[in-house]
Amino acid sequence: MIVTVVLAGEAGFWIVLALGLAARYLLRRRRTGAALLLCLPLVDLVVLGATVLDLRGGTTAHASHGLAAAYVGFTVAYGHSLVAWADGRFAHRFAGGPKPPAAPKYGRARAAHEWRIFRRTLLAAAITVALISLLILLVDDPARTGALTAWYPRTAWVTGISLLVAASYTVFPKRPR
């Protein structure tokens, strides 16, 4: 059930984002568009609430409950940048806005870009770990929360990979041909 909630949350995020941008740029309803975009965190609350209710209802935790926490951590950490990215492209495509700048490809600018991604990944990991720890505390039954603790090393791996990528662009900067 929780996998369905996470998938619906992901779809809901993009649907609400598209509706907000369509209202803003296609219908010229800036307030309506802003109100819809402000509803994006509600999607996270629904996913998190369903996860808490499922676990509090006696369900033994599965990997999908950790996935829900990771989803919320990701959307909180990356949500603003995703909205800004989509807004720039939507404005360019449908409202005559300037072409959004591409991510830098070379040198220090690319390394700085990768470090910004690492900071977001680190924030997402911290939120994920905090949410998983909170879920474990709420259930208060180690026999039912074993699958959640498996998300700690997964989160560390993802963060470590992001760190290695950022460090590699710093130590070995990509140069134009």
DSSP 57-106: TTPPP-HHHHHHHHHHHHHHHHHHHHHHHHHHHHHHHHH-PPPPPPPP-S
Mean pLDDT confidence for 134-143: 92
Cα–Cα distance, 9 to 65 (Å, whole number): 13
Mean pLDDT confidence for 71-90: 96
Q: What is the chain's alpha carbon radius of gyration, rounded to the nearest angstrom? A: 19
| Sequential DSSP letters for 13-53 | HHHHHHHHHIIIIIS--HHHHHHHHHTHHHHHHHHHHHHHH
The full set of domain ranges for the chain reads 2-171
User: Helix, strand, or coil here: 139?
Assistant: helix
Give the pLDDT confidence score for residue 176 in this predicted structure: 86
DSSP 120: H
Rounded to the nearest integer, the mean pLDDT of the chain is 95
Contact 86, 25 (CB under 8 A): no
| pTM value surpassing 0.85 | yes
55-59, 84-88, 162-166: least confident range: 55-59
Give the pLDDT confidence score for residue 168 in this predicted structure: 97
Binning pLDDT at 50, 70 and 90, where does residue 76 land? very high
36-40, 50-54, 111-115, 138-142: least confident range: 138-142
Q: State the residue for tokens 């026999």.
A: 143
